[in-house]
Chains A and B, each alone.
Chain A
Amino acid sequence: MKIALSRRTTLKQRQARRRINWRAQITAFLFLLPALLALTTFTWYPMVKAVGYSFQKVKLAGGSTWVGLDNYRRMLGNPLFYTAWSNVLEFTILSIVLGFVIPIIVALMINELRRMGGIFGLIAYLPTLIPVTIALLVWRQLYAPEGGFINSLLAQVGIPAQLWLQNPLLVKPAMIVIMTWAGIGGTILIYLAALKEIPQELYEAAQLDGFSVWQRIQYIVLPLLASRIAMLLILQIIFVSQVFAEPQLLTQGGPANHTITPVLEIYRTAFDRGDYGLASAWSVSLLLVLAVFSITYVRLSFRKDEASS
């Protein structure tokens, strides 16, 4: 069936190729024009330009000069490059340890409550809606060394006040807690939707075969969620690798560069120091790292999409 269908389309395409109706083509492209124009100007052209910039000494007023690999040499010669990347690696690992499993468990819990569970999904989603700058104002106050709520809470169980955002050991977990709070709601809703698609009959059949609740989760739910789990893991890596607003607004990359990240360094190099060429070399390095993950993600998601429609 599927083969027959695709054959028919290729035949149609071949016919279309043979005689092009120019008037219809002009109409088709007029419909495409606004989007193509916008994409070309604000996405595709800048993408190409980004690579070009990384080999140039960029002057905004015009008269940029080619400098070969100079920007890359300067980037790789800067110890900050390795600091930023190892910070991002730590951020990513921490975010997976602290925040990756929680949404799966929460979604399973909400799903067991059937209709009543909906309200919990909404509550978990609310932080996702808050712009990061506003959320950071609040978290800065929660983490405040004096009179901050978290230190006050710890004082109740006898733990001394901590400098959450000034202590190199604590600052990354502290930021990951913020990002987890802000991010898990969406993930929970995605898992919930996936759980709803698992037919009840599967569980009932397993139950008849004597599968316990845990075994049903282990042998039915987790395998069926596996591809979704993989996709959301990739998405989380892509997302956390671009961490920017938290270090920029809370710590300015400190203490002692412990929260400097590639995106923060790109921002500073370009917009504080005006070194667009060097910043573009950083961008290209970021792109190379992220591309591996994002290409996998797009392939996974749109393959699934075709299979289901």
Chain B
Amino acid sequence: MSLSSSVMSKVESRSRRGRVIRGIITVGLILLSIVMLFPFVFTFTAGLKTSAEIYKPGLNILPATAHWENYQQVWTRLNMLRMFINSFMVTLGGVFFQLLFSSLAAFSLSRLKPVGHTIIMTLLLVTLAIPGIAYIIPLYTTLVRLPVLNISLLNSYWGLWLPYSANAFNILILKNFFDQIPRDIYDAAAVDGASPLRTFFTITLPLSRSILLILGVLSFIALWKDYLLPLLVLRDADLQPVTVRLFTLVRDFPRNLQMAAAFIAMLPPLLAAVSLQRFIKGGLTMGGTKG
């Protein structure tokens, strides 16, 4: 990543006019931040109100008295721990298989050059261009009865892990990255008589830690948020992740408790984002949007 550059030069931005512009920009961005963050703050304080207070009109964002027990109540009554564990199961398994399968395939395409690898690359690009929603129905019927094996993957995490593991985007990005690893390193390994599998695990993967982390974080976010496929595959409520379970479960709860539950559900992705922001930024500027 290059050094930052801005339209105004250093001298200009330090001049009086430049300082005024920067002041206006800062105020504007602070206002925008308030708008963007408001739903989070609102959720948090609404979760502290009584069920009558939440219907009271007016701009009273803060509760008269903070009912912290709301949070404790939804945590236990909704069994939110269960939902979070399910979300982690779905997401971590999905990320694991996605990275493993993608990097194995990318290594083959980049280093081992199988016959027809250009055809496979083209197929992967075509796959990228077709939105998942277009084949969600046959995907569902395939999961209901897997061809050849004739087993159903409904109500099983495999029914999510395996479809998630097929990811053309990751294969293409990793292949591009593997292509840039210097040949000399592989030649040295070849002299030592290392097998492809050993080369893969002892050279390629360690050298690709950064990209694997970025792709892992991006997959984690995407899979944690996924709604439609888990909704279809996990019909058993005890298996459902937060995204699927919470909305239906809170239907019979008063609005203040709904907000408390929503705020708890917001926390894991927020904490992850703040601690992993470096990788998110790296990831978003990669691949399709790299220039």
Contact = CB atoms under 8 A, between A and B. Distances in A.
B101 A34 contact: yes
Interface string A139-161: 10110101101011101100000
B29 A113 contact: yes
Contacts of B67: none
Nearest to B39: A138
Interface stretch (A82-90, A164-172, A282-290): A282-290
B3 to A, nearest CB: 7
Contacts of A203: 5-9
Contacts of A129: 221, 225, 269-270, 272-273
A276 B135 CA distance: 11
Contact of B258 (A127, A141, A185, A301): A141
SS of A interface (majority): helix
A67 interface: no
Contacts of B133: 242, 244, 263, 266, 283, 286
Contacts of B166: 35, 38-39, 41-43
B200 to A, nearest CB: 8
Tell me what chain B mostly uses at the interface: helix, strand, loop, or mixed.
helix
A49 B56 CA distance: 53
Contacts of A155: 57
5 contacts: A31-B196, A126-B37, A131-B269, A137-B261, A301-B288
A49 B120 contact: no
Interface of A: 16, 20, 24-25, 27-29, 31-32, 34-36, 38-39, 41-47, 49-50, 53, 58, 60, 106, 108-117, 120-127, 129-139, 141-142, 144, 146-147, 149, 151-153, 155-156, 181, 185-186, 189-190, 193-200, 203-204, 207, 213, 216-217, 220-221, 227-228, 231-232, 238, 242, 244-245, 249, 263, 266-267, 270-271, 276, 279-280, 283-284, 286-287, 290-291, 294-295, 297-298, 301-302, 304-305, 308-309
Given A49-B135, A60-B144, A294-B130, A301 B57 contact: no
B58 A45 contact: no
B81 to A, nearest CB: 16
A279 B138 CA distance: 10
A114 B180 CA distance: 31
B68 to A, nearest CB: 19
Given A217-B7, A301-B289, 4 more contacts: A41-B146, A49-B142, A136-B247, A139-B39
A146 B42 contact: no
B78 interface: no
B211 interface: no
A101 to B, nearest CB: 14
B21 to A, nearest CB: 7
